[in-house]
Amino acid sequence: MNLRYPVYSPYLNGREKALVVDCIDSTWISSKGKYVGQFEDSFGSWLGAQHAITVSNGTVALHVALAALGIGPGDEVLVPTLTYIASANAVKYTGADVVFVDSERAYWQIDIEDAERKITSRTKAIVVVHLYGQATDMDAVMALAKKHSLNVIEDCAEAIGTRYGDAHVGTIGDVSCFSFFGNKTITTGEGGMVVTNNAELARKVRHLRSQGVSSEREYWHDVIGFNYRMTNLCAAIGCAQMESIDDLIAKKQQIAEWYRQSLVGLPVRTHDTNPRTQHSYWMVSILVDDARERDALRAALQLDGIETRPLFYPVHQMEMYAAPGQNFPVADDISRRGINLPSYPALMRDDITFICERMRDFFARQETKMEPLLETKS
């Protein structure tokens, strides 16, 4: 079976090849070279952040950010359970304990009231995940953090271009982490960025990501650090991607609007947008009304060459994180009913119409199957 519509495909129609060739010609292909600094400056300036530090991927961005904050054994970190597993794994890398938090139903973000109930004397930080491109309520998060003296880490892996009020997400908490994996809004193939407005925190991140090498003595290492640097090759791709970033975000928002218009009348709910935010729609996501139809719908779309993904499984369901007595009803419900639809920038209006027509056909067949049962009951 041919895959007509993948769930995602990167946009690589700019100067990516030219800049990579220039990088190769320069022979600076590892973690030194002009494109690393250029990418950091370009991305930081675009966000409105004072410090942007490249790293090798989004997961290590989270790890080094937590390490720079001093999170370690004996500490607890609040993490929404409805997220990609890296948000929790990075906490465990530090030796700290993950404390999972349920979601709020309206926008699928971390439930602030549940988060406050989970705070103990060991709680040192809260990781907020701007899930699928919708912003978390950062006013509520920052108020909670101030009340309980918590550090705030924004996981922006899925939220390039998302805004909370007038501010880009990633510029509000103590530190934030972005991913440039191949399925993200802009990509470097593999790569990430740590962003902060705190100069001392930025210094610690740069120190730790580069094997803890001393700034005063050549080949001398004064802390146990990590090899988390981005290559100049990856940064060259990032520089080219930055030239199209605003157009890519606008196109993804247009695609989401086309889906919203085309799905009217179907038993599904699109991912709502908090009116105080600008949703960047990393993935256009829906919830089917009946969880029992989710997998059948995905299978039917697959037959038409339309790839989809289930929403993330809540991390507390994973064997290595499971514990008795954990109860996260909203996150569990959203996960059971959720689907990511094809969301890549090259999609056109006719493509969205076709995908939604196939969904409409599926639900029409489901209604036809139900009619004899309804007649028997009557």
CB of 231 closer than 8 Å to CB of 29: yes
CB of 358 closer than 8 Å to CB of 304: yes
Q: Are strands 123-129 and 151-155 parallel, antiparallel or unpaired?
A: parallel
Here the tokens at position 249 are 């975000």
| Count of other CB atoms within 10 angstroms of residue 208 | 22
C-alpha–C-alpha distance, residues 196 and 61, integer Å: 12
C-alpha–C-alpha distance, residues 315 and 191, integer Å: 23
Tell me if residue 204 is catalytic: no
CB of 177 closer than 8 Å to CB of 54: no
Q: Tell me which amino acid residue 252 is.
A: K
User: Could you tell me how many helices (H) and strands (E) the chain has, helices first?
Assistant: 12, 14
Cα angle at 154 between 153 and 155, to 5 degrees?
115
Q: Which SS3 state, helix, strand or coil, does residue 158 take?
A: coil
Here the tokens at position 100 are 């999972």
Backbone angles phi, psi at 213, to 5 degrees: -75, 140
Alpha carbon of residue 160 to chain centroid: 8
CB of 105 closer than 8 Å to CB of 82: no
> Which is catalytic among the residues 17, 34, 184, 251?
184
CB of 280 closer than 8 Å to CB of 159: yes
Active site residues: 184
